[in-house]
Structure formats: C-alpha cells, structure tokens
Chain A
Amino acid sequence: MSMTKLITEPNILDQDTFYAELINAQRQLSDEQAESMVFKLALILCNHVGDRQVLRDAIELARDNTLAYAK
C-alpha cells in the first residue's frame, strides 16, 4: 500500500511563471488544439503519478469542484 496522498497544499515554486508557461504553451494553437494539449497534459501527468488512489482522489476533487459550480 502506498502511503502517498494527493497533495492539496500549494506545491509549485514560483507559481506565476509556471502558470504563464501553461498559458504560453497554447500560443498559436487553435482552441481545438489547445484543448487537445490540455487533455494530453492530464494524461501525461496521470501516468507520472501512477498511484491509483492519488489519481482517484484527484479525479474526485476535479469532479466535485466542477459540480459545486454547476448551479
């Protein structure tokens, strides 16, 4: 059993430049391509994490957060 937990505290150093990199990566992509890029990014990171419980918790968090805003 892995003891790794989904990290929900801030964990990215220099968050503003990270976010800029994420946005800049979409430059010169159509909306369609940018969307595809985000999907691929999710898949790449899921594979990097690997831990099924962490992935499950992350999927749940993303879904719950989305539903919470769906009024």
Chain B
Amino acid sequence: MFQTYQAPKYKYQVSQEQLHQAVKRHPVVIVGAGPVGLTQALDLASRGVASVVLDEDNTVSVGSRAVCYAKRTLEIWDRLGLGEEFANRGIQWKVGKVFFKDDLAYQFDLLPEEEHKMPAMINFQQYHLEERLVKACADSGMVDLRWNHKILSLKQADSHVSLNVETPDGIYKIEADWLVACDGANSSIRGMVGAEFSGQYFQDRFLIADVVMKANFPTERWFWFDPAFHKNQSVLLHKQSDNVWRIDFQLGWNADPVEAKKPENVIPLIQAMLGKDAEFELEWVSVYQFACRRIDNFRHHRVLFAGDSAHQVSPFGARGANSGVQDCDNLGWKLQAVLQGQAPISLLDSYHEERSYAADDNIGHSTRATDFITPKSRTSTKLRNAVLELASSQLFARPLVNSGRLSKPTPYLNSSLNTLDTDDFQSSMLPGTNCTDAPVMVNGQPTWLLNQLYAGFTLLSFGAGATPVQIGSIRAEVLEEGKDLIDVKGLLKTRFDGRPGTVYLIRPDQHVAARWRQFDVKAIQQAIQRSLTVTA
C-alpha cells in the first residue's frame, strides 16, 4: 500500500532499574503511550510531577484512527504548549453535510462562537499527533518513556502498586504510588484489577480506510445515509492532512471482516463512491465493530483508568480520544495535589465522580447516534428514513437527524467539588463548567483568557478588590480584569456576566469551582477546600 507517512521506530533501552535489578518507587507510572497516556504524562510534567510511561510497542498508531479533535481538547493541549501547532497542522472544519440517498438532507455548522483561540474541530491523523506528543514528552525532561515494556502482572499494596514488567532483557519489577492505565479499550490492567467493563455491543461492522487522493471535496464532514453507491448502509468522509482522506463504510451484520478489508474488495467500494476514473491509493484499511461501555469505577485503589480503558464509544461524534484527553485534564491536578499532600486521597474519588458522569454523557450521545445510523429493526429503519425524507424540506425534522453529535466537554454540574451559586448570574459559566475562552489584552498585546489562567487555582476578578487567598499550602492567585488583563472587546464580561466586584474561583483544570458577586476570603477558602475534598 501507498505510504504518506513513515512511522518512527523508537529505540528500546534497558532501564537503570532493570540493569541493576534495583526496585524503584515512582510517584506515577502510566501504562500506554497513546494520545491519552502521553497527554497525561505531559500534563503531570507541566505540574512538576515526573512520570514513567510504559508501552508494549515501539511506535505510534497504525492508521489515522482517532481523527477529529474538538475545541476543548485543543485548549487542553494549548495549556501544554501544543494547541497552536495542532490547530495549524490539522485540517480545520465546521460544516457537516448529511445526505439521504443522493440528496442533501441537512447541513449543520458547529457554529463556533467567534473570538475563541481554538477552532471548533480539527482533523489530524493519530500518528502525527502521537509523534509530536512523544517529542514533547522527551523535551519536558520529566517523562521517562520506556518502549517495549509489557505489564505481566500487578499487585496492589496499601500505599503503592507493584508491577512485573517484561522487556527484551527479561522481567523486572517497578513500583508506583499511582498507576494510570491508558492502555486502551482492550486494557489488560482492567482485567488485572478485576474491574467490570460493561455496556452495549453493536453488531454492525464498519470498514475504515485512509485513502490518498487529490480531491476537490470541500473541507467538510460528509455523511451519507443509504447512498446509491453503497445501498442500505452509511458512509462517512473526512479530510485529513497530506491529501489523506478518511472514509468509513458501514458493512452490515454479516460482513466477513477478513474478506472485507482485502484491497480487491475495498477498491470497488471506493470507485463506486468516487467514480471509476478516480485516482487514489489505499494507505490503511481496517474493519471494526464497536461497543458503548464503561468501567465500574475509574479508580481501583491505586490504579486510575483514563481514556478507552475506562470508556468506549462508537466513532460517531468523535467522543473517544476527546473524552480521554479530558480525563487527563481532570486527573492531572488531582494527582499532583494528592502527591504533594495538599489534598486527601478522596480527591481521586472525585475523578471517578466527574469523569464517569462525562463518560455516561458521551455514551448516551454515542448510543443514540448509533441507533439512528444503524436501526435495529425494519420499523426503526422506516421511521429513520421518514425523518430523513422530511428533513430536506421541513425545518422541524432536521434536529432529529443524528449522524453523530460532535464532542463537547461535559460540565460537571452536580459535582461535589462545586460550591453552589448563592448570587444571581446571567452567564452559563456555572460551577463545574470549563471556562469559555475570550480575547483579552495583556501588556498591550492581544492574547486569550485561557492562556492567562494560572496552573493552580485562579481568582478571576472583575475590577479591583481581590487579593491572593491562602489556605494551608494552597494559594489562589488573582487575575484582575482592568489590571492584569484588559477586556478590550467586552466579551469576557459578557461571557462571565462580569459585573464589577465579581470573582470566579477557577480550578487548575480551568473549570469553574465557585463564583460570587463580591470578594470574600472566607467563602473562597471554603470553596478551595471543598474542591480539594479537604474537611475543615
């Protein structure tokens, strides 16, 4: 097959521990060097926490796999210094078209509110992403990335986890205060801790192909229900960088996965879609089935699960990798606070509370989209087709068309870490919500709110009056609108309902913890303690 990309082969190196047969205790060991594991390592590095990352392979993702990265995910990577680069290298898009048979049924625009630093969505092959994350981990000096390291077994002790790890040099033992399992949907760690992973399986098989071609399709997401070129099935087309296009063909229940991915069977499918004369090369083909399921608990004593090891969704909506990166965002600061003795271990239970809530939200969206795309009965199919036929002329039917609801961050509205509003606000920045971005000026230079938030707790103050607040070893720093940053376009005040005197307490993961109409040291101290599960 044609290759636009040469995957790097990372060098296996024997660790000092294995060489000297000396067991070492690490604060954090991460299993799996995919987008989630690597992001977790980088997030921890940005917080001064060193980690060891173990991966049983020695290269990046084969094929494009996770393709679409949403704004919130890009904002998290931007906090880690990579957002601008990914936004520039990826293909930005916001329009989606949905076709039924040969007609346009419906068109949507992700409608990114203007004046955000990051775009609504980019398409970027997973291998490009991983290669860059690996480099960033190396550059951080805080991540010890060990290739060809396979976990054989795991034992939980009261204060740590110990792992038996196999390398080309044999077996050795590693200990960790905390283990973060980012080892994917088929996680072996999950089995080792006896976690349940349950949910709904879908029977349909899908063929996924990376196709290299020069084509003039616009930079949009195109989705077909029952097109003439692939009857009774669905097809999804996405543009990626380097003239690589991603096409997903629904194959139905009875497809033979081995036969289906043979080039002699794939090429006619693509020719039917693009025309007999279309010039293209296949770069990667895979056949998959999917499930929507989640782990019983994101925390099993000293082991924390993030990404696909904790939750699996259908691909429609790009909620897999995006929600995995958002897991890291939630877990990083909590691990840091626990490791540094600023919070009790119970803070890590809030990781389960908040991210299982998000996982259930994502699974709900993903399941509903899948049920629309692959109806389970003749009647469901007819009802679905009735929606599609109505949608081309009837506005009311368009919102019912579900070809995947694209990833948005789940606000933790019911989180026990939130301090509930006692004052009146005309803003959607409710406690538990990730801060929306807004353009601001700092030292006469245009920049963005999210780039100005502190790594720890931030007090975003509208006007003068707030001072840094200390409680125990935690200090919330002040970011004062009117002094530290200037809201030249007025959008910051609008988005936060920032009347003079308003103060927002923002967590290290840029989520709102609490907000008030006036600065009150005691209230802020209590809110900080609440968001760290510290009992006064």
B400 interface residue per 8 A CB criterion: yes
Q: In this complex, what residue of A is CB-closest to B387?
A: A43
A26 interface residue per 8 A CB criterion: no
Q: Do the beta carbons of B386 and A40 come within 8 Å of each other? A: yes
Q: Do the beta carbons of B389 and A40 come within 8 Å of each other? A: yes
B side interface size, CB within 8 A: 11
User: Using Cβ atoms and an 8 Å threshold, which residues of chain B touch A39?
Assistant: 382-383, 386
Q: Do the beta carbons of B382 and A43 come within 8 Å of each other? A: no
User: Using Cβ atoms and an 8 Å threshold, which residues of chain B touch A44?
Assistant: 390, 394, 396
Q: Do the beta carbons of B396 and A47 come within 8 Å of each other? A: yes
B297 interface residue per 8 A CB criterion: no
A64 interface residue per 8 A CB criterion: no
Q: Do the beta carbons of B385 and A43 come within 8 Å of each other? A: no
A contacts with B: majority SS = helix
> With the chains together, A43 CA to B400 CA distance in Å?
10
User: Using Cβ atoms and an 8 Å threshold, which residues of chain A touch B387?
Assistant: 43
> With the chains together, A44 CA to B396 CA distance in Å?
8
Q: In this complex, what residue of A is CB-closest to B397?
A: A43
User: Using Cβ atoms and an 8 Å threshold, which residues of chain A touch B386?
Assistant: 36, 39-40, 43
User: Using Cβ atoms and an 8 Å threshold, which residues of chain B touch A60?
Assistant: none
Interface residue range, chain A: under 10
User: Using Cβ atoms and an 8 Å threshold, which residues of chain B touch A35?
Assistant: 382
Which residues of chain B in 369-397 are interfacial with respect to chain A, using CB atoms and an 8 Å cutoff?
382-383, 385-387, 389-390, 394, 396-397
Cβ distance B206 to chain A, nearest Cβ, rounded Å = 26
User: Using Cβ atoms and an 8 Å threshold, which residues of chain B touch A47?
Assistant: 396-397
Cβ distance A59 to chain B, nearest Cβ, rounded Å = 12
Q: Do the beta carbons of A36 and B396 come within 8 Å of each other? A: no
Interface string of A37-54 (1 = CB under 8 A from B): 001100110010000000
Q: Do the beta carbons of A36 and B400 come within 8 Å of each other? A: no
> With the chains together, A47 CA to B397 CA distance in Å?
8
Cβ distance A42 to chain B, nearest Cβ, rounded Å = 8
Which residues of chain B in 344-389 are interfacial with respect to chain A, using CB atoms and an 8 Å cutoff?
382-383, 385-387, 389
User: Using Cβ atoms and an 8 Å threshold, which residues of chain B touch A43?
Assistant: 383, 386-387, 390, 397, 400
Cβ distance A35 to chain B, nearest Cβ, rounded Å = 6
> With the chains together, A43 CA to B389 CA distance in Å?
11
Cβ distance A63 to chain B, nearest Cβ, rounded Å = 13
Q: In this complex, what residue of A is CB-closest to B385?
A: A36
Q: In this complex, what residue of B is CB-closest to A47?
A: B396
Which of B382, B383, B385, B386 is packed against the most chain A CB atoms within 10 Å? B386
Q: Do the beta carbons of B382 and A40 come within 8 Å of each other? A: no
User: Using Cβ atoms and an 8 Å threshold, which residues of chain B touch A40?
Assistant: 386, 389-390
Interface string of A1-42 (1 = CB under 8 A from B): 000000000000000000000000000000000011001100
Q: In this complex, what residue of B is CB-closest to A50?
A: B396
> With the chains together, A47 CA to B398 CA distance in Å?
11
Cβ distance B382 to chain A, nearest Cβ, rounded Å = 6
Q: In this complex, what residue of A is CB-closest to B399?
A: A47
> With the chains together, A43 CA to B386 CA distance in Å?
8
Q: Do the beta carbons of A36 and B390 come within 8 Å of each other? A: no
Q: Do the beta carbons of A36 and B397 come within 8 Å of each other? A: no
> With the chains together, A69 CA to B526 CA distance in Å?
60
User: Using Cβ atoms and an 8 Å threshold, which residues of chain A touch B382?
Assistant: 35-36, 39
User: Using Cβ atoms and an 8 Å threshold, which residues of chain A touch B396?
Assistant: 44, 47
> With the chains together, A13 CA to B396 CA distance in Å?
27
Cβ distance B495 to chain A, nearest Cβ, rounded Å = 29
> With the chains together, A36 CA to B386 CA distance in Å?
6
Q: In this complex, what residue of B is CB-closest to A41?
A: B386
User: Using Cβ atoms and an 8 Å threshold, which residues of chain A touch B385?
Assistant: 36
Cβ distance A36 to chain B, nearest Cβ, rounded Å = 6
> With the chains together, A39 CA to B394 CA distance in Å?
15
> With the chains together, A47 CA to B394 CA distance in Å?
11
User: Using Cβ atoms and an 8 Å threshold, which residues of chain A touch B394?
Assistant: 44
Interface string of B119-157 (1 = CB under 8 A from A): 000000000000000000000000000000000000000
Q: In this complex, what residue of A is CB-closest to B395?
A: A47
Q: In this complex, what residue of B is CB-closest to A37?
A: B386
> With the chains together, A63 CA to B91 CA distance in Å?
47
**A-binding residues in B (CB < 8 A):** 382-383, 385-387, 389-390, 394, 396-397, 400
- CB-defined A-B contacts under 8 Å, sample of 14: A35-B382, A36-B385, A36-B386, A39-B382, A39-B383, A40-B386, A43-B383, A43-B386, A43-B387, A43-B390, A43-B400, A44-B390, A47-B396, A47-B397
Seed contacts A39-B382, A39-B386, A47-B397; 12 additional CB < 8 Å A-B pairs: A35-B382, A36-B382, A36-B386, A36-B389, A39-B383, A40-B390, A43-B386, A43-B390, A43-B400, A44-B390, A44-B394, A44-B396
The 9 A-B residue pairs whose C-beta atoms are closest, nearest first, are A39-B386, A47-B396, A40-B386, A39-B383, A39-B382, A36-B386, A40-B390, A43-B386, A35-B382
